Amino acid sequence: MELEIRDVSKTYSNGVHALKAVNLTIGKGMFGLLGPNGAGKSSIMRTIATLQTPDSGEIRFDGQNIFANPTEFRRQLGYLPQDFGVYANASATDMLDYFARLKGIKNAKARSNRISELLELVNLTEHSHKAVDTYSGGMRQRFGIAQVLLSNPKVIIVDEPTAGLDPAERNRFYSILHQLTDSAIVILSTHIVGDVTNLCSDMGILNRGSILARGKPDELVASIERQIWHKSVSREELTQLRLNHKVISTRIVKGDIQATIQSETAPAASFTQSTPDLEDFYFSYVPELAV
């Protein structure tokens, strides 16, 4: 099972060059596509979902061009966009039954059994007869996953699924997504580093329409081993540091500004070397995030 994205480019009518010769090969399991807002993540997700065609390049699933027969590919696809609408006053059970009919599950008992199974999976059985438009953000996302899984898809796309969720709901959502990786390609598009750290065995960094890095998270982090240094600084010192060093991030720690620098040698004796993490690697590739 393999999804191949080959030299995919996309420019919109307003002149925005959203995708620039994107190349990725994604196998079964959880793949994290990490990038800031506006990086092109939703553009590549919509293209994989056949909601738009690329200007150039192609996407193949198990060797077949998905745009040659998009209807057939969509039968194997589950797509959860960042925002999705629901019908007012419709319960989770009624909505899932409606979508199951649309997906061709004609047998009433088969539909009922599948819906019960999915509501149990996403921990919504007790809320199955409540209107979905009254759900919290986390509950609605879990309902979205149930909807996506109705037809046992081979490719699952989730776009910014944990944005706005509280920590408890985020962890619950992580647990659900993790259960899907044994039998499908799951593509997780996010700007939240923790999503990729907690879930993904493979990843890519996308920014300004281009893939900047690709690999296993632990191997990417290992590539900057012994290159990360930090120090508490004043605002004046930070301005000077930026003139002479690669400042990849700053944060407030106990009221002080802590600057993190990437350097193969110690910037100065006053800096402390630290063990890198995925956030350090990400910030090293997306310098505009170094506020």
pLDDT for position 282: 95
Provide the pLDDT for residue 64: 95
Tell how strand 2-11 and strand 17-27 pair up.
antiparallel
Residues 250-280: pLDDT tens digits?
988 888 899 999 999 988 888 999 999 999 9
The predicted pLDDT at position 103 comes to 83
The three-point CA angle 80-81-87 to 5° equals 80
Give 2-221's CATH code, choosing from 3.30.565.10, 3.40.50.300, 2.40.50.180, 1.20.1050.10.
3.40.50.300
Domain range list for the chain: 2-221, 226-274
Whether residue 104 is predicted with pLDDT greater than 90 in this model: the reply is no
Q: Report the pLDDT value the prediction gives residue 289, as an integer from 0 to 100.
A: 66
Please name which of 34, 133, 21, 33 lies closest in space to residue 85, comparing C-alpha atoms. 133
**Tokens coding 280:** 């350090």
Q: Which of 29-43, 135-149, 172-186 shows the highest mean pLDDT? A: 29-43
Give the pLDDT band of residue 219 (cuts 50, 70, 90): very high
pLDDT at 290 over 70: no
**Structure tokens belonging to residue 19:** 């995708």
pLDDT digits (tens, 9 = 90+) for 170-199: 888 888 888 888 889 999 999 989 889 989
Token pair recorded at residue 267: 């910037």
Q: Tell me: pLDDT of 73 over 90.
A: yes
Per-residue pLDDT, averaged over 161-169, amounts to 80
Give me the chain's average pLDDT, please: 91
The reported pLDDT for the residue numbered 188 is 94
Does pLDDT of 291 surpass 70? Answer: no
